[in-house]
Structures are given as C-alpha cells and as structure tokens.
Amino acid sequence: MAAVAAFAGWLLRLRAAGADGPWRRLCGAGLSRGFLQSASAYGAAAQRRQVAHFTFQPDPEPVEYGQTQKMNLFQAVTSALDNSLAKDPTAVIFGEDVAFGGVFRCTVGLRDKYGKDRVFNTPLCEQGIVGFGIGIAVTGATAIAEIQFADYIFPAFDQIVNEAAKYRYRSGDLFNCGSLTIRSPWGCVGHGALYHSQSPEAFFAHCPGIKVVVPRSPFQAKGLLLSCIEDKNPCIFFEPKILYRAAVEQVPVEPYNIPLSQAEVIQEGSDVTLVAWGTQVHVIREVAAMAQEKLGVSCEVIDLRTILPWDVDTVCKSVIKTGRLLVSHEAPLTGGFASEISSTVQADPLECRGSLRPSREGA
Amino acid sequence: MLAAVSRVLSGVAQKPASRVLVASRHFANDATFEIKKCDLHRLEEGPPVTTVLTREDGLKYYRMMQTVRRMELKADQLYKQKIIRGFCHLCDGQEACCVGLEAGINPTDHLITAYRAHGFTFTRGLSVREILAELTGRRGGCAKGKGGSMHMYAKNFYGGNGIVGAQVPLGAGIALACKYNGKDEVCLTLYGDGAANQGQIFEAYNMAALWKLPCIFICENNRYGMGTSVERAAASTDYYKRGDFIPGLRVDGMDILCVREATKFAAAYCRSGKGPILMELQTYRYHGHSMSDPGVSYRTREEIQEVRSKSDPIMLLKDRMVNSNLASVEELKEIDVEVRKEIEDAAQFATADPEPPLEELGYHIYCNDPPFEVRGANQWIKFKSIS
C-alpha cells in the first residue's frame, strides 16, 4: 500500500512539474483525476498508519528442468543443498543450529542423509563461522555457511570484506575462497523489529570481490543458490525470511542453474521501469497491476536478482524504452542500493537518454 | 485458634488487624543458613559458607522473586493473547539470579545484561507497570514503547541488548568509567552460556584484566544456548574458568543466598582494586529460549519438572524461611496475593494504555538541535526528528 501511494504521489509530482511528452501520453491514456490526491491530503495519508502487505505471486511451472514438486522457499533451499551435497563430496554445511534442521527448517534431513561431519553445528560465533568457512574454502572444499539472521552478519563483516573478498586479488590468483557461500535469512517479517528484519545488501554492495544474491521465489532460490555454490567467487545468498512459508511454487527436483548477474524482466511494459528484489518484487508486481488498472500505466517489472555485480544492461535497456525508472527496496533509503542503480542509469548518457526521472524508494 | 481468628479477620478485609495478629506471633529476627561452597579458580578463598538472613530481607527477596515470577508468567499469558508481539524472552526459574545479584550490590553500582532482562529491569528499580507497558509497546513503557522486550533501561541499568555478546565489551567500558570516576562503583556484566563462545567476550576479558577494571563478568549458565546444550557448544563448560587469567567462582544460581554472598564477595574484590572477577551462576529457565520456542524439543519435560520440584528458587527460600520461623506460610501467601494483584493492575494498564503517537516515529535517531526531518519509506513521507 505504501508503495502504491508513493507511486501515485510520484505521478502527481510529474504532473505538477509540468513534464511534457510523457505526461501527455499518460493523460491520453485516460488518467482519472479523482484518483490522484492533492498534496496536502497525501501528507495526511503519510502520517496515517500503513500496514505493509504483499501477496506472493508464483511463476508458472517451469517445464525445461524435468519433474517438479510443490515446494516453499525453505524446502527449495533444502533441495538445493541436498543436490549440492550429493554432487560435490567436499561440500559441508555449518552454522548455528543447522544440525536439527535450522531455525527456518532449511537443512532438515541433511545431517541424517550425509552424516555429521558434513552437516554440523558451530558455537555462537559469527566471525568464527565465516573465518572458518573461508579457511575451508581456501583448501578447495565447498563451504556453505549459515548466518542465522542477516542482522547478525556484522561480526563477520571484517572476515567477508577484508578476507574473503580480497583473497584472490591479493594472492595474485594463487589462492581463493571461491567455494564459500554464506546463506542468511534476510528482510522484514512483520514482528522482527531491530534485529530480525535487516536487509544489509547495500553494505556488501560496496565491496568488490564478493557476489550478493537475493531470490524472489522458491524456483529462483534453488537455481540461484546452486549457481552461488558452484560459482568460483565467494557469494552471499540472502533468503527473504517472510517467504520461507508464504511462497509456494512448483520447483524442479533435479538441480538446475539460474545465471548470476542477470536481471529478469518479469513483465514487459512501456511507460515506466520498476526494479526490485526479494519480497519487494511481489509488492511491485501488485503496484504494476494496480497502475495498469487504475491509471492505465504500463509498467515494466524487473527483478534484479543479483545485487553485486548487477545487470546494468538490462536495466538501462529498459529505461531507454520507457524513459522512467522507479527502484524499490526494503532497506533504508539513504545509501541503499537504489541510489547506485539510479546514479548509474543517469550517469551513462550514451546508454540512457531522454527525459529520465529515476526515483528511489526504500524502507 | 490464632490462625482461625486471623482468617476471619482477613476475610472481613481488616488487613491491619490480621497483620498485627500474625506479627504478634513470634518470628525469629534472623537465621543463619549454610550455603554451598563455590568452586574457585585462581582464588585462595571464596565467599563464606554460612550467611545470616534477616526476616526483613527474607520477605523482601521473597516478594521480589515472586513479583518477577508472576510478571513473567503474565507476560507469557499476554503474549499468547497476542497483546505482546515480537520477541519475548522470559526468565522464570532464574529469579534468584536477578534478586540475589541486586542484594549483593548497591543501587549506585551498574549492571548490563543481554535480552533475558525483564527480571533485572525490575530489580534495578522500574515498576511492573512500566515493564509490562513496554512489552505491549505503549507510551507508559520505560522506553516509551519503542524498545520492547529486549530494550529496557533504567538508572544504572544499561539494558536490554539484542545482539548476543555485544553487551560484554560495553560492560567493560562502564567499568572503566567506574574506575575513572573513582566512586568505588562496580559494573556487573552479564551474558549467557551461548554468548560465552563469542570472540568479543575474550577481548573484554583481556582489556578488563590488563587495566584492572572493576568489572564482574557474570555468566548466567542455564545449560542451553537457545536449543543447544552446553556440552555441544563449548569445549570447556567450566565457564568460571574461561576468563583464564581472571579469577572465577562457580555459584549455585538457584539459591538466592548463595548468589548474594558470592556477589558481595565479588564486589568487594573489585572494589579493592584487584581487577575483574568472573562468576558463573548455574541456573535454569523453565520457559523455552523465547515465546516461539516450546522448550521441550531439546530437553525433557522430566528434566524441567525435576528442577521445578527440587531447585525452584522461590520454593527454596520459602522453605528456609518457614522452617527457621522467619515467616509463616500464611504470611507468604498474603504476599503472593498482593503480588498477583499488583501484576493484574499492571497488566490492565499495559493493555489499556495508548500506543505512542505516530509523530514520535522519527524521534531520537540523532541528538539534534534544532529538530530536523527524516525521510520515511519514500522521499515524500517525512517525520520530524526531535531529540
């Protein structure tokens, strides 16, 4: 709801700013004046309590990967980990409470299947977990570390940024910890408050040498996680925790890969480009549907999928087509990843031209 | 005969009369008790093995422990009714720790702990009303409804901290301030058996010992770090020895007198300028790690029952007091009734009090003068930020 109100407000400002061509096009498309509230009413609306919601929108059943099964997000993660441990004899999973299945049930059954030396608990020490994981990865084994909540990843920040990210570079490619993947539940869940809701992807986006990935659905999660594990660079895989149970889809049983650093255009459109990742993709899809229905605006929806390195080409190509960009994410607005996207899109005059009005939205 | 008369009188709600009748029954003024000897690490001698408990102190401790117990159970009830939301970590079973620690220090000393903090918030001086209202997120709460279960603060009580282990270096810092200010104060820095494996704790140990800070590190060992038992998490479960170069003592955390004496001993040690000291309180929690943990998937109900029947801190104190004629069963029951009423009233308040106004959403982000505006979820939503 907040996203929709903001979008409406953005359109209002566009009108107020007297933008020519695009606005006329929108007006011509049958914009209803009554729908757009006056600025003062909007201000009051902003102060009213808004309860965020989203509706998970499953993708159609994939046909190219063989037999599928109905899975939610944590089951898709378990399936991916199962495939990894089966395929790669050096793969190990470790973290707090992973042995019994994990606090979000992402590792259920794996210890029984693969043994206690491949799926084991660590004590309560995030810095130790990641440092230890880097060590395993440097010897060539596949290390899949779990940080119980993304809010707790900060003691490990030094290990990730100073050790993992720079290992290959500083050793002149003699050593690397590319077989390290860090998985962590991410994003708001409604009752998480300060320390069970954070979205720290922007902190890590500032660090070359690692990859940061956020899936929007079970099908995406399994494919992206398998790609992260097989990728020869240290990866951080953030799993939207609110989707663990809420997102249910048909997911292939066999392993498959979704390429990293490729954004996906979920819905084609012509008037405005909407970019999001994780849970927010579903909010944005709802916004796109409402915009089409109530304002007659055709939105192109892009799921960024990989935050670092991000798919500049897809986003820019879309913005060239539509001329407008709106990026929406859960993380705080200032310094959030939307600022990187909007400044890149504006800074490249050869790629993106015309009346660009990128707009950022964050929580 | 006396009991019957007092029952009749209390039935007529003539409280003062019944109390006079009960009080006129001769109670001992104090009694001496034997307490368990503490295991010591790098210490020649430990706290005394006998202690004197006065009737007045006994009643005070009983009331405080019963209040904490009832408050936690009320919080459990309110959580299940969805009046309290979010996370809620209860400390019933561990009352002897918070009340015993408070009994061993002065109100001018300092205390910091992790998230299982409701008991400490009470013993450090806040009322049950303020605590329950904070749990329900109302403006009458001690953090104005903005902190919740894990973020309660009071004078000389620094919370209430969500991130495991992060409060320990903070406690060492507070101890540095104590030493610097020269007012003979100490800082009690608490953490759990799970947190004891965090790296920053060892960093704090080193700094405190190096600079001889008046810091009492206290490990509240309730045997389970969330769902992981201590044997499966720690290479050494002798948490009182983990400070290595810091002397330590292991204390029976279910016996309030043991905790009190050990705290007095530790505080005296620190105040004499000898540096930090470590205390391990062996205690137990009846509830699970938090309200979303039933608490029986990693331990048996029999184990919980056994602790409840053999080592319950309130029961232990009550038995001691009644058997040494420091108080009567009726008198203690009376305290129970009063406590129950106090908790009920507080719960009423906590349920009825309004939530903090939306205008205050952006307050206290920075200390800023003059007030400025903060962006909300998008750049057209603005909140005023005053501090």
Annotated catalytic residue A300: no
| Same domain (yes/no): B233, B367 | no
Contact residues, B window 331-360, toward A, CB-based 8 Å cutoff: 358-359
For residues A87-116, average pLDDT: 96
Place of tokens 């897809």: A314
A241 touches chain B (CB under 8 A): no
| Same domain (yes/no): B123, B160 | yes
Highest mean pLDDT among A52-61, A258-267, B15-24: A258-267
Assign A69 to helix, strand or coil.
strand
Domain assignment of residue B320, yes or no: yes
Q: Are B123 and B101 in contact (CB under 8 A)?
A: yes
A62 touches chain B (CB under 8 A): no
Q: List CB contacts (< 8 A) between B162 and chain A.
A: 194-195
Chain A and chain B share a number of CB contacts under 8 A equal to 83
Contact residues, B window 16-45, toward A, CB-based 8 Å cutoff: none
Q: List CB contacts (< 8 A) between A152 and chain B.
A: 163-164
| Same domain (yes/no): B378, B305 | no
Confidence category of residue B5, pLDDT binned at 50, 70, 90? low
| Same domain (yes/no): B294, B314 | yes
A194 touches chain B (CB under 8 A): yes
| Contact check, Cβ <8 Å, A46/B382 | yes
Residue A191 has pLDDT above 90, yes or no: no
Domain assignment of residue B19, yes or no: no
| Same domain (yes/no): B54, B202 | yes
| Same domain (yes/no): B259, B377 | no
Residues whose CB falls within 8 Å of the CB of residue A306, separated by 6 or more in sequence, listed in order: A211, A212, A213, A224, A260, A261, A262, A263
Say which CATH number the domain at B342 has: 3.40.50.970
| Contact check, Cβ <8 Å, B375/A333 | yes
For residues A342-355, average pLDDT: 70
Annotated catalytic residue A206: no
| Contact check, Cβ <8 Å, B225/A362 | no
CA distance from start to end of chain B: 63
Domain assignment of residue B7, yes or no: no
Give the residue on A whose Cα is nearest the Cα of B149. A193
Write out pLDDT tens, residues B159-171: 899 999 999 999 9
| Same domain (yes/no): B134, B154 | yes
| Same domain (yes/no): B298, B239 | yes
Residue B132, token pair as written in the block = 């329950």
| Same domain (yes/no): B168, B278 | yes
Domain assignment of residue B2, yes or no: no
Tell me how many domains chain B contains: 2
**Among A9, A191, A363, beta carbon nearest to B380:** A9
Write out pLDDT tens, residues B328-346: 999 999 999 999 999 999 9
Average pLDDT, chain A: 86
**Among B86, B200, B297, beta carbon nearest to A193:** B86
Domain assignment of residue B86, yes or no: yes
Residue B195, token pair as written in the block = 């947190």
B194 touches chain A (CB under 8 A): yes
Q: Which of A64-68, A245-249, A345-349 has the lowest mean pLDDT?
A: A345-349
For A205, phi then psi, to 5°, come to -65, -20
**Among A46, A100, A128, beta carbon nearest to B381:** A46
B380 touches chain A (CB under 8 A): yes
B364 touches chain A (CB under 8 A): no
Q: List CB contacts (< 8 A) between B195 and chain A.
A: 124
Range of the domain at B372: 360-386
**Rounded Cα gap, residues B261 and B104, in angstroms:** 7
Domain assignment of residue B3, yes or no: no
Residue B290, token pair as written in the block = 């938090």
Q: Are B312 and B122 in contact (CB under 8 A)?
A: no
Catalytic residue selected from A96, A146, A196, A230 = A196
ipTM summary value: 0.82
Residue B26: per-residue pLDDT: 85
Domain assignment of residue B8, yes or no: no
| Contact check, Cβ <8 Å, A124/B232 | no
Residue A339 has pLDDT above 60, yes or no: yes
| Same domain (yes/no): B269, B292 | yes
| Contact check, Cβ <8 Å, B198/A46 | no
| Same domain (yes/no): B52, B186 | yes
| Same domain (yes/no): B382, B319 | no
Confidence category of residue A34, pLDDT binned at 50, 70, 90? very low
Domain assignment of residue B22, yes or no: no
| Contact check, Cβ <8 Å, B199/A128 | yes
Place of tokens 């915009």: A291
